[in-house]
Amino acid sequence: MKSMARASQIEKQAARWVTWVDSQDESEGRRADFIGWLAADSQHRAAYLTLSKAWRRMDVLTKLK
């Protein structure tokens, strides 16, 4: 159960980073935090890439309306 809770927490963090990157509010301090978060754990990077890909697909679908 602990690993599922951890995975859920990582996904929440990744979702926050995806929306932050999309907002283009990339201040230098936050960028360093983001890079540090990605580097801290391979699961962080995997979750970010997965959610980022889904986010981009949703953006494309929205434009097709």
Q: What's residue 10's pLDDT?
A: 96
pLDDT at 3: 85
Dist. CA 3–CA 8, nearest whole Å: 8
61 vs 41: which has the higher pLDDT: 41
Packing angle, helices 28-40 and 42-63, rounded to 10: 120
pLDDT single digits (tens) 6-47 = 889 999 999 999 999 988 776 778 899 999 999 999 999 999
Residues 4, 28 contacting (CB under 8 angstroms) = no
DSSP letter string, 2-65: HHHHHHHHHHHHHHHHHHHHHHT---HHHHHHHHHHHHH-HHHHHHHHHHHHHHHHHHHHHHT-
Q: What's residue 18's pLDDT? A: 95
